[in-house]
Chains A and B, each alone.
Chain A
Amino acid sequence: MKSKLLLAAGLTALLLTSGCANVKPWERGTLTDYTMQSGRDPIATAQFEHIWYSREEASGGRGVGGGGCGCN
Chain B
Amino acid sequence: MITSLLKSLLKKIAVAALASGTLFTASAALKVGDSAPDFSGMKLEGALPDSLKGKVVILDFWASWCGPCAESFPVMDELQKKYQDQGLVILAVSVDEKPAKMETFLKKNLVSFTVVRDAGHQLVAAAEPQTMPTSYIIDREGKVRFLHNGFHGAATRKEYVDQIESLLKNTP
Enumerate chain A residues within 8 angstroms of B57, measured Cβ to Cβ. none
State the Cβ distance, A2 to closest chain B Cβ, in Å: 9
Q: Residue of B at shortest CB range from A34?
A: B65
Most buried by B among A6, A71, A72: A71
Enumerate chain B residues within 8 angstroms of A33, measured Cβ to Cβ. 65
State the Cβ distance, A22 to closest chain B Cβ, in Å: 8
Quick one: which of B1-50 are within 8 Å of A by CB? 3, 6-7, 10, 13-14, 17, 24
Interface string of A24-35 (1 = CB under 8 A from B): 111111101100
Shortest Cβ-Cβ A-B pairs, 3 listed? A72-B150, A26-B95, A32-B65
User: B68 to A72, Cβ gap below 8 A?
Assistant: yes
User: B63 to A29, Cβ gap below 8 A?
Assistant: yes
User: B65 to A25, Cβ gap below 8 A?
Assistant: no
Which residue numbers of B lie inside 8 Å of A, CB to CB? 3, 6-7, 10, 13-14, 17, 24, 61, 63-69, 95-98, 101, 121, 124-125, 128-134, 149-152
* Choice from A3, A17, A26, A71 contacting B6 with Cβ under 8 Å: A3
- In the complex, number of A-B residue pairs with CB atoms less than 8 Å apart: 66
User: A10 to B63, Cβ gap below 8 A?
Assistant: no
* Choice from B13, B24, B124 contacting A26 with Cβ under 8 Å: B124
User: B10 to A6, Cβ gap below 8 A?
Assistant: yes
A–B pairs, 28, beta carbons within 8 Å: A3-B6, A3-B7, A7-B6, A14-B13, A17-B17, A22-B24, A24-B128, A25-B130, A26-B63, A26-B121, A26-B124, A26-B129, A27-B121, A28-B63, A29-B63, A29-B95, A29-B98, A30-B97, A32-B66, A69-B65, A69-B66, A70-B66, A70-B131, A71-B67, A71-B131, A72-B68, A72-B131, A72-B149
State the Cβ distance, A70 to closest chain B Cβ, in Å: 5
Enumerate chain A residues within 8 angstroms of B69, measured Cβ to Cβ. 71
A26-B121, A28-B132 in contact; A72/B95 too (CB < 8 A)?
no
Enumerate chain A residues within 8 angstroms of B95, measured Cβ to Cβ. 26-27, 29
Q: How far is the CA of A7 from the CA of B95 in the complex (A)?
A: 42
